[in-house]
A and B are shown apart, each in its own frame.
Chain A
Amino acid sequence: MTPPLRVAVPRGALFGETLDVFDSAGVDTAELRGGSRSLIFETSGMTLVTVRPSDVPTYVEAGAADVGITGKDVLLEQSDRPVYELLDLGYGRCRMVLAGRVGSDRLGESERELGMMRIATKYPRIAERYFESTGRQIELVEVKGSVELAPLVGLSDGIVDLVATGRTMEENELEVREEIVECTARFVANRVAHKLRAAEIDDLTARLREASQK
């Protein structure tokens, strides 16, 4: 007997809108909204598992989840994980940017005087690829959280980070200098599941496409 389709749902910033889209696609999410500590939910003939957005590719690549939703930023940062990217869901829109301190030319000075900039980020691979592709050299500092702090205390000259509203940057007196890429939520699938559960995945893809365009 075939078990229900297993779907990795991102907790965190994408959680609310993901549930809204599922609701419009005819997947009942009432239980997930209930503030339950549970991580696994059986609903509408599917198994929804809630994970960190950055873990979605891990679960989907291994087939522990057949399909999932996560941000393009996560997919770009983990581009070595072979998951199928089926759909741009359009929500969770934000920009990956290079930012520096307001009114300071530390980025430019470092580049001129030292030949390279020091960049703090939670997205080392995206940052490396971006500067490489634009022919500039950087010294990368990987941090796990509150990257805005790094240029304020001299850990770095600038940061590469995601911006949604720009409020956090503003409050920390940082400003966008360059836009790297725009990111939205994506629907991804496991390679094997995409082949062997084609009908179910195509059906869910079609429903999500319609729901995300509402």
Chain B
Amino acid sequence: MIHPIPPGTRDVLPEEMRELRRLQNALLEVFEGRGYGEVATPALEYDEVLARGGGRGDHAAYRFFDESGELLALRSEMTVPIARLVATRYGQAEPPHRFCYLAGAYRAVNPQRGEMREFIQAGVELIGAPAAEGTVEVIEVLEAALDAAGLGSSVIGLGDADLYRELLEELGLGAEALDAALSRLAAHDLVGLEQELESAGVAAEQVAACLALSQLRGGPEVLEQARAQGSAAAERAADRLSALADALGSRTGGGRVQFDFGLMRDLSYYNGPILEVYDPALGRVLGGGGRYDGLMRRFGVDRSAAGFALNLERVHVAQIEERRRGEGDR
């Protein structure tokens, strides 16, 4: 007798579970070894609390009323619940706070595209450490986690969440045109971006510079190329990224890091450095993160914060693919 489960969800059987558990343990060992204590929060929260995360892509998609009429939601990621936890439980405690998690999250995706409605995130949050050092520490933990997962070819793309808002303001865009241009950038629609900038009256030369900037990604050479675009905002972003890279270089060598002036995260609560994780064995992004001081403020805590989350199942797939490629099978 067949009893279906909703599309985009799945059962895990012992063979895979053993591997997933091994991967979880390896990651947990890295996190705990660096002082990140594991926390669990409820999968169900008040919708009002999750909505404080704001933005387009991050708001919970599965909502329902409980027996007393309260609107509840399934969390779509873990950063907002942890911000809630820190504000509520650690409001008076001396920072910094280091937390890690391995937890299910829920998103309304189109399951016919090979994405899951329920998936497991593995990540850390560092709250209340001085901003620059905190970001470096989080990237260090991420590098160690990727090593522990055996993803030797993975790459961490490092960008700046404030760059384009500053740049577009510098180009004199009004609020509406600025949002339109930002959403084109977030979708990485260069043709649309060019049209938006042109119709906002930006000079052709500056349009070209903005488009070229969004295509700069690679080693330290792109920092210089970004400075050469002749915008104060790009210059500042390059300074911020190069300071971060220097701090990182003296700690880990930062061999996995690639600079990316086109990086935009979907979540609206980031400010300062943002990151994404890629592996050549997989066409989808493995995870991401960055600085989110603004989110903490929305929960009434004025502290800098940074973190990342990896999609555990995708890390597992990349692990298997890398192993296959290592064996010379394409």
Contact = CB atoms under 8 A, between A and B. Distances in A.
Given A85-B188, A195-B155, A62 B283 contact: yes
A3 interface: yes
B284 A192 contact: yes
A196 B278 contact: yes
Nearest to B184: A85
B190 A87 contact: yes
Contacts of B218: 198-199
Nearest to B283: A63
Contact of A192 (B188, B285, B330): B285
B215 interface: yes
A192 B283 contact: yes
A62 B189 contact: no
B187 A63 contact: no
A129 interface: no
A97 B285 CA distance: 36
A142 interface: no
Contact of B114 (A62, A80, A82, A88): A62
B289 interface: no
A64 interface: yes
Nearest to B218: A198
A192 B191 contact: no
B282 interface: yes
Contacts of A190: 283
A198 B278 contact: no
Contacts of B117: none
Interface residues of A, number: 27
A63 B187 CA distance: 17
A64 B321 CA distance: 13
A191 interface: yes
B271 to A, nearest CB: 22
Nearest to B112: A58
A138 to B, nearest CB: 23
Contacts of A81: 113
Interface in B14-36: none
A202 interface: yes
Nearest to A205: B215
Contacts of A58: 113
A87 B211 CA distance: 11
A192 B215 contact: no
Interface string A196-211: 1011001000000000
Contacts of B191: 72, 85, 87-88, 186
A61 interface: yes
B278 A192 contact: yes
A191 B157 CA distance: 12
Interface string B257-281: 0101000000000000000101110
Contacts of A194: 188, 217
Contact of A85 (B157, B192, B215, B217): B192
A19 interface: no
Given A3-B330, A81-B113, A186-B191, A196 B280 contact: yes
B322 to A, nearest CB: 13
Contacts of B276: 195
B110 interface: yes
Interface string A1-33: 011000000000000000000000000000000
Interface string A83-107: 0111110000000000000000000
B278 A195 contact: yes
Interface string B100-123: 000000000010011000000000
A58 B115 CA distance: 12
Contacts of B155: 195-196
A193 interface: yes
Contacts of B283: 61-64, 190-193
A74 to B, nearest CB: 14
18 contacts: A2-B280, A62-B114, A64-B283, A80-B110, A85-B187, A85-B189, A85-B191, A87-B190, A87-B191, A190-B283, A191-B285, A193-B283, A194-B188, A195-B157, A195-B278, A196-B278, A198-B217, A199-B218
